[in-house]
Amino acid sequence: MIERLQDLPSDALGALVAESEEADLRFVRRLLDEWASGANRFDRPGEALFGARVGGRFVGVCGLNVDPYAADARVGRVRHLYVLLEFRRRGVGRHLVTAVIETARGRFDRLRLRTENAGAARVYEALGFRPSGGAADSTHVMELASEQAPGSRAMLEA
Ligand SMILES: CC(C)(COP(=O)(O)OP(=O)(O)OC[C@H]1O[C@@H](n2cnc3c(N)ncnc32)[C@H](O)[C@@H]1OP(=O)(O)O)[C@@H](O)C(=O)NCCC(=O)NCCS
């Protein structure tokens, strides 16, 4: 049910845009606008956009970008996670973020994100993100490098 989106037909995320705007969240609209303008098509090395589909209908979305706030191409950023109200608490968010983490492994050393939403924070923390303790551009971080390369931490600390 999770798929990587190479293309984004303009009406594909219509229900998500409408619902999120009603909740005063603008990032799904921004995702669509930036895709349309070419500003962000999740197509730089390591990047990806995922959609969750149920019965042919998109019910969730989540993207992986090179972190625009980090001057380091090995830092990725989880962006634009949104799940339709009707489909929440069924694991859709968890599956989307898991797809992002799996895709990021090997390409990024660290994943960061910002969320003000307590439910979203629970999803991220359940998957291994840690609160980043007042960092300017993020609320949560996950180190990927040390997980996939045992000993790299020792090398860094040596
Ligand atoms: C945050 C969001 C994406 C979660 O999506 P979801 O599909 O409901 O999440 P999941 O069902 O995968 O949740 C996995 C676990 O996270 C925790 N969780 C998820 N939503 C929660 C909430 N609102 N309150 C408390 N815990 C929550 C639970 O532990 C849950 O497991 P459980 O249902 O077995 O208890 C969804 O609520 C959403 O789209 N919110 C609005 C947009 C938003 O805030 N996005 C984040 C921007 S960074």
The structure tokens 């979203």 sit at 120
Nearest-CA residue for atom 26 of ligand 1: 119
User: In sequence order, what E strands does 84-136 have?
Assistant: 110-113, 130-131
Whether the predicted model's global pTM rises above the 0.95 cut: no
Rounded distance between C-alpha atoms, residue 3 and residue 101, angstroms:
14
Q: Residue 66 Cα, ligand 1 centroid: separation in angstroms?
A: 24
Number of domains forming the structure of the chain? 1
Q: With contact defined as beta carbons under 8 Å apart, do 64 and 79 qualify?
A: yes
Q: Residue 95 Cα, ligand 1 centroid: separation in angstroms?
A: 11
**Residue 101: domain span:** 2-157
CATH of the domain at 126: 3.40.630.30
What are 77-115's pLDDT values in tens digits?
Answer: 999 999 999 999 999 999 999 999 999 999 999 999 999
Q: Does the structure show a pLDDT above 60 at 147?
A: no
What are 30-74's pLDDT values in tens digits?
Answer: 999 999 999 999 999 999 999 999 999 999 999 999 999 999 999
Rounded distance between C-alpha atoms, residue 135 and residue 122, angstroms:
18
Start-end of H helices in the chain: 14-22, 27-37, 92-104, 118-126, 145-148, 152-157
The two three-digit tokens of residue 20, written as one number: 């999120």
Pocket of ligand 1 (CB under 6 A): 25, 81-83, 88-94, 115, 117, 119-120, 122-123, 126
Rounded distance between C-alpha atoms, residue 12 and residue 15, angstroms:
8
Rounded distance between C-alpha atoms, residue 121 and residue 50, angstroms:
19
The pLDDT value recorded for residue 3 is: 96
